[in-house]
Amino acid sequence: MDKIDINRLLERLNRREPGEFYFPDLYGSGWDDLFIGDKVKAGRNFMEAVRAGEVTGVEDTGRKQGRGRVYRWSGN
């Protein structure tokens, strides 16, 4: 994930209340229009960026439910 993508996602995160979320919800409009391969790639890139500490304030909970992997936003 490049810095522009991360910055765009961080802007969206900063408008959210702290708590758990799914990547498609954070990605926003356009997610449903992506091809499945592009969804998988974007989701994996986000997960790797979170695990590498590139997405400040977000942690991977290690759980999957309904809409996929569950992340936690600390609010800062």
CB-neighbour burial class of residue 53 (10 A; exposed 0-12, middle 13-18, buried 19+):
exposed
Placement of tokens 């961080």 in the chain: 10
Residue 1 has which token pair?
A: 């994930």
Per-residue pLDDT, 1: 66
- pLDDT tens readout for residues 40-71: 999 999 999 999 998 889 999 999 988 899 99
Whether the pLDDT of residue 3 is over 90: the answer is: no
**More confident position, 76 or 60:** 60
- Do the Cβ atoms of 75 and 27 come closer than 8 Å? no
Whether the pLDDT of residue 33 is over 90: the answer is: yes
Supply the Cα-derived Rg of the chain in whole angstroms: 11
Per-residue pLDDT, 76: 77
